[in-house]
Amino acid sequence: MKYEFDNERPIYSQMADLITKEIVSGKLKPGQKIPSVREYALLMKANPNTVCKALDLLENAKLIYTERTNGKFVTNDLELINSKKKEILSTQIDSFMDDINKMGISKEEILKMLMEKLK
């Protein structure tokens, strides 16, 4: 996976979002060890400080935890991961709905299209 950032938003929050997505999508499994700060910095071609800040954000959200000497791991709390997933889904749908509402498309039309897309 290639990590790309845009320069308009703080890089650390974009980085935290990307790692969150990897966790909820299962790419990083519960209890799995995640790369170190240095490794992430190289992987993402980013400043280690930025990586630290992003990981702090995730740690505060309890999505990852630190084992003193071993490094950082993805949480084993499946409920938390699921709720995070729902949160992301809900924000995505919110922004989707915002756009759609502006165009005045009816609920029935949206549902129909969505059902077709999801088939």
Partner 1 sequence: MSLLEFKNVCKEFDHKPILKNVSFKVESGRIVGLLGKNGTGKTTIIKLINDLLTPTSGEVLINGNKPGIESKKIVAYLPERSYLDRSKKVSQILEYFCDFYENFDITKARKLLKDLGLEENARIAKMSKGMIEKLQLILVMSREADLYVLDEPLGGVDPATRDYILDTILSNFKVGASVIISTHLIADIERILDDVIFVDQGEIVLVDSTDDLREKTNQSIDEVFRGMFRC
Q: Note the residues at the interface with partner 1 (CB under 8 A).
A: 5-12, 38, 41-42, 45-50, 53
Tokens matching residue 57:
């954000």
- Minimal distance, residue 3 CB to partner 1, in Å: 10
Tokens matching residue 78:
């499946």
Q: Is the CB of 49 or the CB of 101 nearer to partner 1? A: 49
DSSP string over 45-77: T--HHHHHHHHHHHHHTTSEEEETTTEEEE---
- Minimal distance, residue 99 CB to partner 1, in Å: 19
CA distances from 2 to 18, 51, 66, 87 (A): 11, 15, 25, 24
- Minimal distance, residue 112 CB to partner 1, in Å: 36
As a whole number of angstroms, the longest Cα–Cα distance in the chain is: 55
Q: Is the CB of 16 or the CB of 74 nearer to partner 1? A: 16
Q: Is the CB of 3 or the CB of 83 nearer to partner 1? A: 3
Q: Is the CB of 6 or the CB of 108 nearer to partner 1? A: 6
- Minimal distance, residue 1 CB to partner 1, in Å: 17
